[in-house]
Amino acid sequence: MPKPRASDIAGVDMKWHALRLLWPYVVEYRARASLALFSLALAKLATISLPFLLKYIVDDLDGQLGSGSAIGALVAIPLGLILIYGVARFMNVMFNEMRDTLFGRVTERTMTRISLQIFEHLHGLDLEFHLNRRTGGLSRDIERGVSGISFLLRFMIFNILPTVFELAVVIGIFLANYGVGFAAVIFVALVIYVVFSVVATEKRTRYVREMNQADSATNNRAVDSLLNYETVKYFTNERYEAELYRHELDNWERARRNSRLSLFVLNGGQALIVAASMTAMLWLAARGVAQQGLTLGDFVLVNTFMLQLFLPLNFLGFVYREIKGALANIEQMFKLLNERPGIVEKPDALPLAATLPAVDFIDVDFRYGPAREILQGVSFAIAPGEKVAVVGASGSGKSTLVKLLFRFYDCSGGSIRVGGIDVRDLQVQSLRRAIGIVPQDTVLFNDTIRRNIRYGRPEASDAEVDEAIRLAQLEPLIARLPEGADTLVGERGLKLSGGEKQRVAIARTILKRPGILIFDEATSALDSKTERGILAALSLVARGHTSLVIAHRLSTIVDADRILVLEHGRIIEAGTHQSLLAQQGTYAHMWEIQQRQAVEAADEAATSSV
């Protein structure tokens, strides 16, 4: 099935364009949709037949009573019509139920497909989008949009179009059987009703959008505050957070009030139009009966048709309002499909064939916009199986090297080659599968320890997961937990300490066993004893792998084949640990400071234990 492309959405008014975007999903189930429409047509025919059956029943009864015929004849003649009326009423309900059952699958499948498409699209967007997103508002936009799709499909196809069809048929019936007057009342009432509903609803849509924006902002505030629960407690800012939330709730309440008042005006105007037109029709019918131009059956027919018409017509006003609201809801969701990633894979991109690739940074420049330059002419190489470490002050550009290697961003100048191929010429998935990382800030899924580790390679066996647990020195932690490796870690892993989370991340990367290993401050949250054990495990795992280590503690990289010192986006020193100490430059100064701090920390610990 062809999916709507984001390029189809760009630059287009999203109000009614959404119907065309939804069409491919409906066409996929054309057989079901056709059967549903056929059931709808039969239901409408049954609906239109009901007033005529009532007319004939009343006229027969009126005729029998007027002629004074026998009771047997009185019962026998209308009884058949009454039975037919009952069957028609039952078939009307049954055909509508068949319609809903048949089309329900189409609606549900459409909601599923679009939800999946947006989910995949969001994961396909680059890091820049996700750094700027607001998770609470984003999830609420998607939730409202998917619900809006369900409403739009069902009511647009099964309420608006059938009601318009029924109105046209009834106007034709009145025009043919009862003259211009009856048809004119319905037609004029319909025109006034539709014009008023459209104009009033268009004005009201602005309030619906404001209400949605306020709702998203409120949800954003709540989610952001709850995700940072610990920070709120650290600074005793519960009252401050409540005030911020109250401010958003006030905006939401104001928007809801405006929306409710506009709905009052809309409903009141529609009710006035319906009441006036029904009164006019009943007056015309009553006058016709009084002048003996119409029968009592005709009076009942006109009254029944008006009830049947204006009930859905009044509902049509509600449906139109809700459809406009649904379109306003899915408008933001479809805009997500218009978001284009900054990193686009070439159509002829190559897979990374090398299992142990070399990595080459060649005169790499990178900047976040023209005013924020991060890297300037960075060049270095990591041979297959070599371990290269990068050190430097915070903000020197160390972590940016990792983001560029993963191709979260593209270089502003120069190139990065993996396995001898520019990363811009490689398939993105192939490149990222070849890289394993232990990040500085480890965020875990709200799942078990075992499943978080298995995330590194979902198809891994239990034995392989257990081996990764052992190498990451997680066995003592798991042994202390009542549920062992099946213990839930909580949202973002909050039930684990920083060091425990980092060990889970290390185990996850060990399980992946990629050709390139990246350790981004991988032991920064570990105590010295655990750090030594982890370093030994990492050295074992990294043996024979191409490794890039971003380090803060210089003691963790003394065994590196080469150490690069980065300062203000430039490499100012390079060499082994011993050669850099001999240079008595920046690295040697950093080493001296850290050694002094280590001695002071040891002395302080010894003093406090006495």
Q: How far is CA 151 from CA 9, 40, 111, 154, in A?
A: 21, 17, 11, 5
Nearest Cα to Cα of residue 500 among 467, 523, 528, 532: 523
Q: Does position 74 have pLDDT exceeding 50, yes or no?
A: no
DSSP state of 493: G
pLDDT value of residue 131: 63
- Could you give the count of Cα atoms lying within 13 Å of 485 in the half-sphere of its Cβ? 19
Q: What percent of the chain has pLDDT over 70?
A: 83
- When mean pLDDT is compared over 1-10, 153-162, 198-207, 440-449, the highest value belongs to 440-449
pLDDT digits (tens, 9 = 90+) for 445-501: 888 999 999 988 889 899 999 988 888 888 888 899 888 888 888 877 778 887 788
Query: How far is 136 from 148, CA to CA, in rounded Å?
Result: 18
- Could you give the count of Cα atoms lying within 13 Å of 99 in the half-sphere of its Cβ? 21
pLDDT value of residue 3: 47
Q: Does position 113 have pLDDT exceeding 50, yes or no?
A: yes
pLDDT value of residue 70: 47
Q: Which of 210-219, 319-328, 521-530 has the lowest mean pLDDT?
A: 521-530
pLDDT value of residue 589: 92
The dihedrals phi and psi of 520, each to the nearest 5 degrees, come to: -100, 95
pLDDT digits (tens, 9 = 90+) for 381-397: 999 989 999 998 888 88
pLDDT value of residue 379: 94
Q: Which residue has the higher pLDDT, 610 or 163?
A: 163
pLDDT value of residue 570: 92
What is the average per-residue pLDDT within 510-529? 76
pLDDT value of residue 77: 55
Q: And the tokens for 575? A: 């060499």
Q: How many CB atoms lie within 10 A of CB 584?
A: 10
Query: Chain-centre distance of CA 379, in angstroms?
Result: 40
Query: How far is 196 from 83, CA to CA, in rounded Å?
Result: 41
CATH of 6-337, one of 3.10.180.10, 3.40.47.10, 3.30.70.260, 1.20.1560.10: 1.20.1560.10
Contact, 523 vs 502, CB < 8 A? yes
pLDDT value of residue 92: 82
Q: And the tokens for 54? A: 């009532």
Query: Do the first three CATH levels of 6-337 and 441-513 match, i.e. the same topology?
Result: no
For the chain, the structural domain boundaries read 6-337, 353-434+516-610, 441-513
Cα four-point dihedral sign 433, 438, 441, 447:
positive
Nearest Cα to Cα of residue 59 among 47, 77, 83, 72: 77
Query: How far is 487 from 69, CA to CA, in rounded Å?
Result: 86
Q: How far is CA 3 from CA 8, 249, 333, 380, 406, in A?
A: 10, 38, 15, 43, 28
Contacts of residue 200, Cβ cutoff 8 Å, sequence gap at least 6: 262, 265, 266, 269
Q: What length is written for the chain?
A: 610
pLDDT digits (tens, 9 = 90+) for 243-263: 888 988 888 888 888 888 888
pLDDT value of residue 134: 62
What is the average per-residue pLDDT within 510-530? 76
Q: And the tokens for 64? A: 């029998």
CATH 1.20.1440.130 fits 353-434+516-610, yes or no: no
Query: How far is 153 from 592, CA to CA, in rounded Å?
Result: 70
Which residue stretches of 455-585 are H helix?
462-471, 475-480, 498-512, 528-542, 577-583
pLDDT value of residue 217: 82
pLDDT value of residue 337: 74
Q: What is the CATH number of domain 441-513?
A: 3.40.50.300
pLDDT value of residue 382: 92
Burial class of 497 by CB neighbour count within 10 A (0 to 12, 13 to 18, 19+):
middle
Q: Which of 14-23, 54-63, 475-484, 497-506 has the lowest mean pLDDT?
A: 14-23
pLDDT value of residue 312: 67
Q: And the tokens for 111? A: 């909601």
Mean pLDDT (the chain) is 80
Q: Does position 335 have pLDDT exceeding 70, yes or no?
A: yes
Q: What percent of the chain has pLDDT over 90?
A: 13
Q: Which of 5-9, 196-200, 529-533 has the lowest mean pLDDT?
A: 5-9
Query: How far is 380 from 560, CA to CA, in rounded Å?
Result: 14
Contacts of residue 439, Cβ cutoff 8 Å, sequence gap at least 6: 505, 520, 521, 522
pLDDT value of residue 388: 93
Q: Does position 158 have pLDDT exceeding 60, yes or no?
A: yes
Over its C-alpha atoms, the chain yields an Rg (Å, rounded) of 36
Q: Does position 167 have pLDDT exceeding 70, yes or no?
A: yes
